A and B are shown apart, each in its own frame.
Chain A
Amino acid sequence: MEGAILGLEGVYRTFKKGRTLIPVLQDIDLNVMPQECICLVGESGCGKTTTGKILSGLLKPSRGRVFFEGKDTTSLRGAAYNAYRRAVQIIHQDPYASLNPAHTIYSTLSFPLFRHKLVKHYNEARERVAALLEMVDLTPVADVIDKYPHQLSGGQRQRVGIARALTTNPRVIVADEAVSMVDVSIRIGLLNMMGRLQAELGAALVFITHDLALAKYFAWEGRIAVMYLGRIVEIGRTQEVIANPQHPYTRVLLSAIPEADPERTRHKQHIQLRSEDIPRLTELPPGCAFHPRCPWFVPGMCDSEVPTLERGADMDTRVACHPLTRGEPLTLYPA
């Protein structure tokens, strides 16, 4: 897409397990626009983390291309490649595993500064690290800067993780389940801070989560991409996807989620799946991977060809669903 800062085009990724190849991502097209917030949502094993890692250059696609500012990243060399890696930073899920226990907060945060030659000497690095800690509200700075990760709480560690992602003045931040391991009461504080920093820095944010309500909160003005078994099945403006889900999988998901409101959650209409078993990635069903579970399955259509992500009739969102993109109404498959 024109103007995208980061893009995936026809990206596939397989992992080898013994002698079998596991197709973790298939045919992913995704564009990240400057300063936008885009959420990747889906259940475990749908490929959202792998997508995040490919976006940030930590993994290479098996097939397909990654574009940074319109240039194929495999063609980038030297300074240009470093600029890409500097511009895209990732915040990891686990604040306990993602910080080196043998390094102080200062050394964790100063390492990328020296590596990318953003500071020249110790004093400058100290100053810059202190400024970063202030940005993520780890104050007073003197209490934190020379501590080791084990001396901090989970919430504080995740703030360090966020600060580390900011060290290189990134233009895209990939937050992979960045708040799923911190307690409910401090989760929103972290999210609000990330939102504020994103606005201040003018960076784009790719927010990866399994929690649709959280995605809705965080990317209210942005976009949501719903993934299922290695493919994007629906992508569109957050408000549109939440209010008006199109793809059968998105509809089922939204109907299944319990909500923190007794009246509402107990009166919710749950859409019944035809099967509760999730197919294995190594034994994907032919055609649309959701068809064995889909309540609106159309024999002959859904089980023959893989649907591509297209704009349906009268829709802003794009969906990968045969009946929808052909403008046919969804009809329940007889049980």
Chain B
Amino acid sequence: MSESVLRIDDLSIVYRTARGLVRATSHVSFSLAKGETIALIGESGSGKTTLSLALIRMLPAAAQITSGAIHYTRNGQTRNVLSLSPGDMRAFRWKECAMVFQGAQNAFNPVLRIRQQFADTAAAHGIKDPEVVKARTLELLRLVRLDPQRVYDAYPHEMSGGMKQRALLALGVLLDPQVVILDEPTTALDILTQRAIIDVLNEMQKRLNFSIIFISHDLALAAEMADRVATMYAGEIVELAPVAEMFYRPHHPYTLGLLRSVPKLDQRRDDLVSIPGDPPNLIDPPSGCKFHPRCQFATDHCHQEAPPLVEYTPGHFAACWHTDKVAAARSGFIDLKEVKKDDRS
């Protein structure tokens, strides 16, 4: 794997609330290589959004980072994002690490033309030459398959949701960041619009070679776009693996549970099972492995001791005491031969 641009070490974040400390993210570590796409999957409340907000230090005031470091590397220089000064942090956001938020409908200022919003962003980061900004803006709008002339002078309300989402992607990479964080990039979009966004993102990444961290509860999107996938549960990464490993050889019962609960579009009848129980309470999380109350493989050991994240095959990490049982259970569910046979390439 090529050089890493972002390395997260043992990151823990809590929220102080009236009812107690919410452990939103606990001891999360992973690194992101140049040009790589990592998907963070998990249910609401699993800590995906908290983690991504921490990367650009946009956490709400009630949040506190209790441990860890975020190392960012560009041109051989590595800095800890958590110790940047406020001024450096402002420069870091967008120029080094850009975030495209959920709900593109509201991300643009409704009373400014698109060109103004691109120009303002560039100016805030010291790029004031109008010709340079215009050329870059038009190039990016073309890259996201919008009609550059029309959109450049448009107000946000003149554009559809899908157009706005694409314009937002273009704005996200305006300053040539190395890392782009996408929070649920396609939820609330129609299927055909979603397809256009996926295609545009793939194309942009090929051309501009940025890295992507995207957050989604949609496993299909992860299957389509990610190089590696991290499953989060109750604020922890419980499994991290290359995409094919994750989907065909999951080691963690929660990942297996998610895969088993997603209907597929092929021409057979699905046999789906849901994960029993509800997501855990993060103020008073279960002892040991936090997944044990919902896990069909749980034993006393799981109640007592939290399993460490262990590397089983190169690059495939999982935190579970009973990966052997998971392997036995998945063999009945995921059939690799069928995958090959149905391959419609």
Contacts and interface: CB of A to CB of B under 8 A. Distances in A.
Interface of A: 43-44, 153, 155-156, 183-190, 192, 210-214, 216-217, 220, 239, 242-243, 252-254, 256-270, 273, 276-278
B223 A262 contact: yes
Contacts of B257: 185
Most buried by B among A185, A211, A264: A185
Contacts of A270: 195, 199
B165 to A, nearest CB: 12
7 contacts: A184-B43, A188-B274, A217-B272, A242-B267, A258-B218, A262-B244, A269-B344
B269 A259 contact: no
A184 B217 contact: yes
Interface in B272-294: 272-276, 278-279
Given A260-B223, A273-B192, A267 B345 contact: yes
Nearest to A252: B192
Interface stretch (B24-32, B167-175, B258-266): B258-266
A225 B258 CA distance: 28
A260 B191 contact: no
A192 B265 contact: no
B221 interface: yes
A268 B270 CA distance: 19
Given A211-B263, A258-B223, 4 more contacts: A188-B273, A256-B195, A258-B224, A261-B223
A185 B259 CA distance: 9
Nearest to B273: A188
A276 B259 contact: no
Nearest to B196: A276
A257 B265 contact: yes
Contacts of A242: 265, 267
Contacts of A212: 191, 265
A192 B264 contact: no
Nearest to A273: B192
Given A183-B279, A270-B195, A276-B193, A262 B265 contact: no
B219 interface: yes
Given A213-B263, A267-B345, A276-B162, A261 B247 contact: yes
Interface string B211-222: 000000111111
Interface string B131-145: 000000000000001
Contacts of B18: none
Nearest to B254: A185
Contacts of B190: 43-44, 210, 278
B209 to A, nearest CB: 20
A257 to B, nearest CB: 6
- Sorting the interface of chain B by its residue count into under 10, 10 to 19, 20 to 34 or 35 or more gives 35 or more
Contact of B160 (A192, A261, A278): A278
Contacts of B272: 188, 192, 217
B102 interface: no
Contacts of A261: 223, 247, 264, 339
Contacts of B265: 212-213, 216, 242, 254, 257, 259
A220 B266 CA distance: 12
A259 B220 contact: yes
Contacts of A183: 43-44, 217, 279
Interface in B295-345: 339-340, 342-345
Contacts of A254: 265
Contacts of B217: 183-184
Nearest to B272: A188
A329 to B, nearest CB: 21
Contacts of A273: 192
B336 to A, nearest CB: 9
Given A257-B265, A278-B190, A265 B224 contact: yes
A180 B272 CA distance: 17
A154 to B, nearest CB: 8
Contacts of B198: 258
B344 A260 contact: no
Contact of B224 (A156, A220, A243, A266): A266
B192 A184 contact: no
A243 B248 CA distance: 24
Nearest to B262: A260
B263 A217 contact: yes
B14 interface: no
B192 A185 contact: no
B40 interface: no
Given A217-B270, A256-B192, A184 B258 contact: yes
Most buried by B among A217, A267, A268: A217
A263 B145 CA distance: 26
B339 A192 contact: no
